[in-house]
Amino acid sequence: MKVNFTVELEDNEEYLRFKNWLEQHIAVSDFRILPDTTKLYDTNTTFRELCKAEKMAKRAKNDYINLKN
């Protein structure tokens, strides 16, 4: 079973401790730092439209997976 979750960490030191702890206890298949896009989202209509399209595509993909599984 795969699980995806997002956590917010204080700094690079906490990030490294958390990543190391995870890798010691479970098999990690993907681990990435998400950029802060708050300012871009607030100031750029093209980016907002892309985010909306991405959200709709993810929903459609998940609905299709759930229908076929």
DSSP, collapsed to helix, strand or coil, labels residue 69 as coil
For 1, the token pair is 């079973």
What amino acid is encoded at 24 in this protein? Answer: Q
- pLDDT tens digits for 42-55? 999 999 999 999 99
- pLDDT tens digits for 1-45? 888 999 999 999 999 999 999 999 999 999 899 999 999 999 999
Instruction: Kindly state whether residue 15 falls inside one of the protein's structural domains.
Output: no
Domain count for the chain = 1
Instruction: Kindly state whether residue 63 falls inside one of the protein's structural domains.
Output: yes
CA distance 42 to 62: 27
* Residue whose pair of structure tokens reads 């997976």 in the numeric block: 65
CA distance 25 to 10: 21
Instruction: Kindly state whether residue 38 falls inside one of the protein's structural domains.
Output: yes
pTM: 0.70
CA distance 25 to 3: 14
